[in-house]
Structure formats: C-alpha cells, structure tokens
Chains A and B, each alone.
Chain A
Amino acid sequence: MNSTLTLPQAQTEGESLAPQAAYWRILDDRVLRKVLNVLVPLSFVTIAVALYMALFYAPREATMGDAQRIFYFHVPSAWVGFLSFFIVFVASILFLVKRERKWDALALSAAEIGVVFTTLVLLTGPLWAKAAWGTYWVWDARLTTTLVLWLIYVGYLMLRAGVDDMKRARMAAVLGIIGFLDVPIIYLSVTWWRTMHPNLLVGESGGLDPAMRTTLMVALLSFTLLWAWVLLIRVRLEHKRDALALRRAQEEG
C-alpha cells in the first residue's frame, strides 16, 4: 500500500469525494502492524483482568445484587461512545476547514464506532434498570438524551450511506459537530434535572466502594485500549477503500 498517495481535491458541489492527500503514517501497513501487535494483546489482557475484577473482586452491591456488575462495562461503553463522538466533532471541524478526505474518513469511522458503543449502552442499561427499578425504560433526562444522541449519529451514518459526495460529507460534518453538543447535556443531565439515573461519584468523598472504583478504572482503561485499535483498523478500511477507488478511476481514465 502506497501511503504517500496524493490526489487532487474535489472542489465543486456534487462532485465525487475523491481520495485526498495521504492519510497518517500510522496507517501504513508495517507501522500499523507493529502498533496492533502491542495494542490488541494489551487490550485483551486488560479486558480479562477487568472481567475478573467485575465478577469476583468487586463486592456485590447491597440492593441491586449481581445486576449492578453490568455497571463495570456499561459506563466504559458510554465513555468510549462519548470519546468517539468527540473525535467526530474535532475531525468534522478539521474537514470543514481543510477539506481533506482523511478528516472525513476519521469522522465517519469514529461515528460508526460511537454508534456501536452507544448501542451497547442502550442495551445494557435497560437490563440493569429492570433489576434496579423494575422497568426497562423511563423517559428520564439521561436516558432520553442518550437515545437522542444515538439517533443523531445513526442519522449521520444514514446521511453518509450510499453516494459519497462533498455536499453530503459537509452536511454530515455539520451534523457531527452539532450532535456532539448533546454529550455535555447527557453528562450534566443528572445534576440539571431530577432523574432516576445514578450520578457517578468517583472522588475520594464519592459514593463508590474503593474496590468498585478500582474495577471501574481498569474497565475504563480496557475499553479505551480496545477503542484505540478498533478506530485504527476502521480508518485503515476507509483508507484502503479510497486506494481501491483511486486505482479503478485511474484504470478507467
């Protein structure tokens, strides 16, 4: 794979979003292989440790019992989802400013990953809610704003599906930027409004048992490592798609 490929930018509306200047050096096959050789095993080891701690080390919560252990992967899923949408936010701004395909590819990849992890939040949360509150869903602030976030980025992916042209890419970038505004709203919803959702306190005077706090930290680390290499391979997929499209365009031209 030639990672120093450079191509002319698409300038006019409706024109096909041609592959742009080279993506990052880390996506070069040899470099990426070395990075993945470290990140992938490290993430699996930390996930295994987090799983062990969640099941056996962390104490059983008094009222919610074992269902509360869902928390140790529900919160990291939310964290990684928000992190992904932050990447979409930054990459979308850079794409609108620089008009380089690599930022658009990064935004698209991060949006897809963010939707996957937010889906996990919306699937695991109700399972925990049923055990804790006796119901799968309530229309409280945090749950509703999280659902809205998911819908916004599903809309982003739908906008990008099918024809990939500059106009759609720019519209999606704007959506990606505006959609991120929901993330701080979700985070602050438990303090702004009355809500059933627990407010996570991890400071020294907070409500988490120290063993629970340590387990959560390990789980957060494990999911962050997982997210890092999944994002890398997903962006690489976009890079390779562009390389294939370019080669085919050159053969036809």
Chain B
Amino acid sequence: MRWRCDARRKKVKMESMIVAYAIIAIVLTAYITSIVVRTRKINRALEQD
C-alpha cells in the first residue's frame, strides 16, 4: 500500500513540474507573439501611410 502512495505522490510532483513548465512556455510564447503581431500591424500602417 505504501509503495502505491509513494508512486502516486511522485506522479503528482512530476505533474506539477510539467504544468509549471507548460505555463512558462505558453505565457512567454503568447506574449512574444503579441509583440511581434503588434509591431507588424504598425509596420503595415507605416507602409500604407
């Protein structure tokens, strides 16, 4: 019984790590993409003007 609890605790800890890393990747990708998209929009407006 104890080894099953330990294995589940280990799995939960690994899941925390994976979720944390995923959050970092998603948030940073989204933010950098937003800067690039906003810059391109302004570049297009500057070219049209």
Interface residues of A (CB under 8 A from B): 1, 51, 64-67, 69-70, 73-74, 77, 116, 119-120, 123-124, 127-128, 130-131, 226, 230, 233-234, 236-237, 240-241, 243-244, 247-248, 251
Contacts and interface: CB of A to CB of B under 8 A. Distances in A.
B14 A240 contact: no
Main secondary structure of the interface of B (DSSP, over half): helix
Interface of B: 9-10, 12-14, 16-17, 19-21, 23-24, 27-28, 31-32, 35-36, 38-39, 42-43, 45-46, 49
A234 B43 CA distance: 14
B14 A66 contact: yes
Contact of A120 (B13, B27, B39): B27
Contact of A237 (B12, B14, B28, B39): B39
Nearest to A250: B49
Nearest to B10: A65
Across the A-B interface, give the 4 residue pairs with the lowest CB-CB distance, nearest first: A67-B13, A65-B13, A124-B20, A70-B20
Contact of A73 (B21, B32, B49): B21
Contacts of B23: 120, 123-124, 127
Nearest to B43: A240
Max chain B C-beta neighbours (<10 A), residue from A124, A226, A243: A124
Given A77-B24, A247-B49, A237 B38 contact: yes
A244 B45 contact: yes
Nearest to A67: B13
A65 B46 contact: no
Max chain B C-beta neighbours (<10 A), residue from A51, A65, A247: A65
B49 A240 contact: no
B12 A116 contact: no
Given A73-B21, A74-B20, A247-B49, A131 B13 contact: yes
Contacts of A230: 31-32, 35
B32 to A, nearest CB: 6
